[in-house]
Amino acid sequence: MGGAPFFQMNPKMPHQFYIGIDIGGTNTRIAAVDSNSNILLKKQFRTFEFPSGSEFLSQVSFSINDILAEINFELAGIGIGSPCGNYHTGVIDAPVNIKWDRPLNIKKVLSQIYGVEVNVTNDANLAALGEKAAGKAKGLDNFISITIGTGLGAGIFVDGHLLQGNIGFAGEIGHLTVDPGGRHCKCGRRGCLETFVSASGIVRTYLKELSNQTLSSNLIQQKIENISAERISSDAKSGDQMATNTLKITGEVLGKALANMSIAYAPEAIFLSGGPVGAGDLLLKPTKKSFYQNLIKNLEGKIQIDYSYDQSNELALAGAAYLVRNDQQLVMENTL
C-alpha cells in the first residue's frame, strides 16, 4: 500500500490538486491528480477486504489522509467512479460485485469530512471522462466511450458535456433492444445489446454457433465452464474458425448499435475499451464494417471508431478528478 511521491516538487506546479477515486470489485485506487490530469501520487487497497460500507469508507478516508500528509497543495475536490455510482444522489447503490450491506452515500460522508465538492459517477462514464481528460478525446466535444466487460455501458459527451440524464441513467445502452424477443437479459427483458456484446454475450454466441457445428473449433472438447470470452479471443487469434466467427457476429451487432447511437448523438469518434476489446482487429474490423454499412449518408466519413487511449487504469483516475474539476469550471462559467 502507498509509497513515496514519485514527482519532483516544481515551483510552476499548480498549488491545487484533486483526489480521483476508482472503485472496482477487486481494487479501489485513489490518486492525487493535478489540474493538467497528471497523477501525482497513488494509493490502492483491496475493495473486498472491507465488506461493510463503513469499513470501506474508513479505509478510503485513511488513504486520503495519507495523501494529504504527503502533498502540501490545497485539496480542491474529490471525484469518484464506481459501478452503480449515481451522479445525482452521490450514492453508490449496492453494485452486484461489491457486497456492501446497503447503499453508500459516499458523497455526503466525504464532503462532510473534507469540506470540498465531491462528485460521483458510474464506471462507464468514468471511462469517458478519462478519455476526455487524458486520452484520445482530449479536445473533442462530441464522442462516445464504450466499455465492454460483464455488461456494456457508454459514456456520451455531447457539446462538451457528459450526459447524465434523469436519475443518472444516460448511457446504459447495454439494454438497447437489438433482437426483439431474443436472448433473455438479466434486466428481465429480451434481446438486449449486452446479451451479445459483453463477456457472457460472446460465450452465448459461441455456444449457439457450437450447436450449429458448421465450423471447426478447438474449444469443442472443452467443458462449458471453461469457455470464456478471453479463451474465445485467444483461440480466434490462433485461427480457430468458430471463435473467429463468434467475434465477427459480436462485431456485427455492435457496429449496428453504434450506427444507431451515432444517428442519435452525432459523435466525432467512438472509443472502445474493456476485456473483449483485447481481441483487436478480430472484433474491430467486423464492428467497423457493420457500422459503416448501417450509417446514414450524411454521417459517412465523419466518425472514427478506435480503441481507447490505453487499457490501464490511469485514465480512470484522471477521469474521476476531471469529473469534479469540470463541474467546478461549469459553475464558474455560469456565474460569470
Contact in structure between 175 and 184 (CB atoms under 8 Å): no
Closer by beta carbon to Zn ion, 40 or else 152 = 152
Q: How far is the CB of 316 from Zn ion (least distance, A)?
A: 24
Q: Does 187 bind Zn ion (CB under 5 A)?
A: yes
230-261: burial string, b at 16+ Cβ within 10 Å, e else: ebbbebbbeebebbbbbbbbbbbbbbbbbbbb
Q: How far is the CB of 189 from Zn ion (least distance, A)?
A: 5
Q: Cell digits for 175? A: 439494454
Q: What is the DSSP letter of 104?
A: B
Q: Which stretch binds Zn ion (CB under 5 A): 168-176, 199-207, 300-308, 319-327?
A: 168-176
3-state secondary structure 176-203: CECCCCCCECCCCCECEHHHCCCHHHHH
Among 192, 253, 269, 316, binds Zn ion (CB under 5 A): 192
Q: How far is the CB of 190 from Zn ion (least distance, A)?
A: 8
Quick one: residue 211, left, alpha or beta (phi over 0 = left, psi -120 to 50 = alpha)? alpha
Q: Does 325 bind Zn ion (CB under 5 A)?
A: no
Q: How far is the CB of 275 from Zn ion (least distance, A)?
A: 19
Q: Which stretch binds Zn ion (CB under 5 A): 136-144, 178-186, 239-247, 254-262?
A: 178-186
Closer by beta carbon to Zn ion, 44 or else 177 = 177
Q: Cell digits for 206? A: 459461441
Closer by beta carbon to Zn ion, 70 or else 93 = 93
Alpha carbon 165 to chain centroid, angstroms: 17
Q: CA-to-CA distance for 71 and 186, rounded, in angstroms?
A: 44
Q: How far is the CB of 153 from Zn ion (least distance, A)?
A: 12
Q: CA-to-CA distance for 148 and 96, rounded, in angstroms?
A: 16
Closer by beta carbon to Zn ion, 42 or else 175 = 175
Q: Does 31 bind Zn ion (CB under 5 A)?
A: no
Q: CA-to-CA distance for 211 and 207, rounded, in angstroms?
A: 6
Q: Does 173 bind Zn ion (CB under 5 A)?
A: no
Q: CA-to-CA distance for 189 and 176, rounded, in angstroms?
A: 10
Q: How far is the CB of 261 from Zn ion (least distance, A)?
A: 16
Q: How far is the CB of 191 from Zn ion (least distance, A)?
A: 8
How many residues sit in the footprint of Zn ion (CB under 5 A)? 5
Closer by beta carbon to Zn ion, 192 or else 272 = 192
Q: What is the DSSP letter of 138?
A: T
Angle at which helices 106-114 and 53-70 cross, to 10°: 40
- Which strands, in side-by-side order, build the sheet including 27-33? 39-46, 27-33, 16-23, 74-81, 118-121
Q: Does 256 bind Zn ion (CB under 5 A)?
A: no
Q: Does 175 bind Zn ion (CB under 5 A)?
A: yes
Q: Does 231 bind Zn ion (CB under 5 A)?
A: no
Q: Does 197 bind Zn ion (CB under 5 A)?
A: no
Q: Look up cell 462559467; give the residue.
A: 333
Q: Does 193 bind Zn ion (CB under 5 A)?
A: no
Q: Which stretch binds Zn ion (CB under 5 A): 26-34, 130-138, 179-187, 218-226?
A: 179-187
Q: Does 136 bind Zn ion (CB under 5 A)?
A: no
Q: Where on the chain is the footprint of Zn ion (CB under 5 A)?
A: 175, 185, 187, 189, 192
